[in-house]
Amino acid sequence: MCFWNWLEPMTRYSRINTIWRKELVDTLRDRRTVIAMVLVPLVLYPALMLGSLQAFEVQVANLVTEEYNLAVESEEVKRWLRRLIDSDPARQEETAGKPAEELVEESQAAPELGGEGKKSSLKRTGAQTAKTGVYANPPDYKIWVVPDVGEAVTEAFVHAGVLLEGEPPLPGMTGSTKVLVAYDESDIRSEIAAGGVQGVLDRANLRLLLQRLKEKNLDTAFVQPIARDEWNVATPERMAGAILGMIVPLILIVMTITGAIYPAIDLTAGERERGTLETLMVAPVPTVDLIAGKFIVVTLIGLMSAVLNLLSVGGTIYFGGVGSLFTRGAEFVFPLSALPWILLLLIPLAVMFSALLLAVCSFARSFKEAQNYIVPVMLAGMIPGVVGILPGTRLEGAIMIMPVTNIVVLTRELFLGRFDYVAIFLVVLSTSLYAGAAVAVAAKLFGQEAVLFADSGSVKTVFQRRYFKPRAVPSAAQALLVITLAYSLNFYIQQAIGKSGLSEGLRYLNAVALTIIVVFAVGPWFAARYMRVNATSAFKLAAPDPRGLLAALCFGCSTWILALRWNEIQQRLLPMDSNVARMLEQQFAWLMDIDPLTLVFFLAVVPALCEELFFRGYALSGLRASLGKTGSVVVVAIAFGMAHYSAQRMVTTTALGLLLGLLVVQYRSIWPAMIAHFMHNAISITANHPAGLKPWLTSLGYPDAADASLPGMWVLAAGMLVTIGVLICFVAPRREHPVELPRPQVQTSG
């Protein structure tokens, strides 16, 4: 009797359904998930928010009820100041609590003259609130007569000092006396003391002014030709939206990730570590279905976590009265109409992050390893998120399809009551596409044999040289480490050069070339030595193949034209910032004063040698085994593009990186790539140099004017040359020395 006759055909749908439900039960029973998902939003938020609110109020209350010490230089000033403080309208018993300006206005119908008004600002600390509060309601003061007021304030014997240049101004006098309030801005108490005194002085000034005007029978309008006032058209709902739009998107991103982290690790690397993955993979279930089931659970948990957070933040603001704090006492109306849309947006966001986390965790062999991989994912999610938070970022152009940023900006727009349906559609669509790509990557990584069964090594072997086995090429981890080190080193040296004031001339070129040599050649060479990697094979120093050189020549004499053409198109589509443009113009100007051969040495020879050694040599060799031919070339090209720290040149440098990478993987030698890189840089620099190739190129039809377009024939010819080069690479790659790994193929016997 065959048992499998019982078995019923199982549809993919029911299989995935079974998997995700089991994973959900399993995940919800995990205490860590529950803590991250439920406890943090429901308990921590309200506690944190209300706690800080109380601390805020206590701080304000303490600061304004304290007695402050003032220093003056004579008894006469002391008496005068005492009288001013005691007769200040804000300090009169029966009127206490009302701002002094209002009192003056009420009694004498005087306009508000000068002084710090009642402007609200979005975020204030308790100390700041206290500081502006005392202007209208000064605290109690004790006044001391000291020989040196400045010293008394500096040495913090008193909180503030008052110095007069002239007679103490009194009713009936006509002149003006300068009154100096000395305070220490680095001390909040000193600031508060000074703020209160300033309020007292301004109100006294106003009273004296009104008296003088009355004596001369003049209207207040006489001294105030322009009566400035402000009119804020934002509704309370909109004001609340503006504030929420800054806080909520980041909370949602962080919380979606936080909620999804544990299930993502647990269901992939965790399962592998506990040995349940092998059992699962033996079951008659396709890997794609497994990852789909897991993905649904991670997304659900991420989503639940984000929704709980949203509700908790909303609830805390709504019920905890935190809202009116943001608006400085003004009415706070929660923009409820935005909520359904934001919840809808959360779905693609959660889908994208879950897929990304799953992809990253699928790569990890253990829980710990996965946790290490996740930190960069969090940062990668936060950086575009912060870009979106910047007040100037608007939902237009490329921002609409920029992952994470678009959701952050759209959430803010929704909070502000702006519903652009096209934008919503684009944001949801692009985010869904990214999510789909991430799911595909996750599925591919999850089923990989090497990830499934390889054992992870000991930590010690990672750092000490004696544990390193001599290797032909660096490992992926070593390559990534060296890339990271080189990037940060490069960044700091560039910053240091910028700080030193060097920005042009031969000395600047020297500094840049030296940086390139140290960062991209000497550094990796030492790294290779330390990690016992064979330099010849890691840096691909083998002799070049003639076909590779031919392809390199094709690229070398054509890519600069395509780069120029692309820059023209880019400038039309996405014009660069005028400041950047001015900077580039200046740079061009001083470069043209330098001898072309010198320029070629600094800007073509040095970068071609060093950058190729690093990118197409060390980095590509290291990433080749784990990312495959295409993957490693693409990743290294993007790294190369980013290393130029220029958004304008990102596309062209990355594209050049792809071609150079192609040369190296097809011919297993760095030299063709160096030659092509050298030619590209050298021609690009000297093509517009009057003492360089310019006269010769102009005679061939190259445009003389700097802003003229390249002739179509040139672009066409360049395009053809690049195509020929690519064809050579693909049709006639180097075949001997099968160092490259053949992908294991299943052969049929017989």
Binding site for other proteins (CB under 8 A): 2-4, 6-10, 15, 18-19, 22, 25-26, 29-30, 274-276, 278-279, 281-286, 449-450, 452-453, 469, 471-473, 475-476, 537, 625-626, 739, 741, 744-749
Nearest distance from C-beta of residue 20 to other proteins, angstroms: 12
Nearest distance from C-beta of residue 375 to other proteins, angstroms: 24
CB neighbours (10 Å) of residue 433?
14
Nearest distance from C-beta of residue 29 to other proteins, angstroms: 4
Nearest distance from C-beta of residue 279 to other proteins, angstroms: 5
CB nearer to other proteins: give 191 or 266: 266
What gap in Å lies between CA 68 and CA 138, rounded to an integer? 10
What gap in Å lies between CA 540 and CA 520, rounded to an integer? 15
CB neighbours (10 Å) of residue 459?
8
Nearest distance from C-beta of residue 607 to other proteins, angstroms: 28
Nearest distance from C-beta of residue 435 to other proteins, angstroms: 26
H-helix or E-strand containing 677?
helix 671-686
Nearest distance from C-beta of residue 546 to other proteins, angstroms: 25
CB nearer to other proteins: give 55 or 477: 477
CB nearer to other proteins: give 509 or 623: 623
CB neighbours (10 Å) of residue 739?
11
Nearest distance from C-beta of residue 301 to other proteins, angstroms: 14
Q: What is the DSSP string of 331-372?
A: -----GGGHHHHHHHHHHHHHHHHHHHHHHHHH-SSHHHHHH
What gap in Å lies between CA 207 and CA 654, rounded to an integer? 69
CB neighbours (10 Å) of residue 482?
22
Nearest in space to 442 (alpha carbons), one of 377, 489, 496, 505: 377
What gap in Å lies between CA 388 and CA 253, rounded to an integer? 12
Q: What six digits make up the tokens of 475?
A: 């490992």
CB nearer to other proteins: give 188 or 281: 281
Q: To 5 degrees, how large is the angle CA 417–CA 47–CA 306? A: 45
Answer for the pair 413, 393: CB distance below 8 angstroms, yes or no: no
Answer for the pair 520, 619: CB distance below 8 angstroms, yes or no: no
CB nearer to other proteins: give 537 or 558: 537
CB nearer to other proteins: give 324 or 448: 448
Nearest distance from C-beta of residue 612 to other proteins, angstroms: 20
CB nearer to other proteins: give 382 or 625: 625
| Residue 175 DSSP class | S
Nearest in space to 117 (alpha carbons), one of 205, 206, 199: 199
CB nearer to other proteins: give 8 or 94: 8
Nearest distance from C-beta of residue 622 to other proteins, angstroms: 10
Buried (b) or exposed (e) across 79-104, using 16+ Cβ within 10 A? ebbeebbeebbbbeeeeeeebbbebb
Answer for the pair 529, 670: CB distance below 8 angstroms, yes or no: no
What gap in Å lies between CA 173 and CA 190, rounded to an integer? 31
| Residue 138 DSSP class | -
CB nearer to other proteins: give 226 or 283: 283
Nearest distance from C-beta of residue 487 to other proteins, angstroms: 23
Nearest distance from C-beta of residue 43 to other proteins, angstroms: 23
State the residue for tokens 């054992």. Answer: 455
Q: To 5 degrees, how large is the angle CA 97–CA 100–CA 106? A: 105
In this structure, which amino acid lies at residue 506? L
What gap in Å lies between CA 86 and CA 92, rounded to an integer? 8
CB nearer to other proteins: give 27 or 299: 27
Please classify residue 593 by burial: count the beta carbons closer than 10 Å to its beta carbon, then call 0-12 exposed, 13-18 middle and 19+ buried. exposed
CB nearer to other proteins: give 181 or 290: 290
Nearest distance from C-beta of residue 740 to other proteins, angstroms: 8
CB nearer to other proteins: give 560 or 618: 618
CB nearer to other proteins: give 251 or 476: 476
Q: What is the DSSP string of 455-498?
A: PP--SHHHH-GGGPPPBSS--HHHHHHHHHHHHHHHHHHHHHHH
Nearest distance from C-beta of residue 715 to other proteins, angstroms: 40
CB nearer to other proteins: give 699 or 747: 747
CB neighbours (10 Å) of residue 258?
18
Q: Residue by residue, what is the 3-state secondary structure of 289-304?
A: HHHHHHHHHHHHHHHH
CB nearer to other proteins: give 452 or 592: 452
Nearest distance from C-beta of residue 458 to other proteins, angstroms: 16
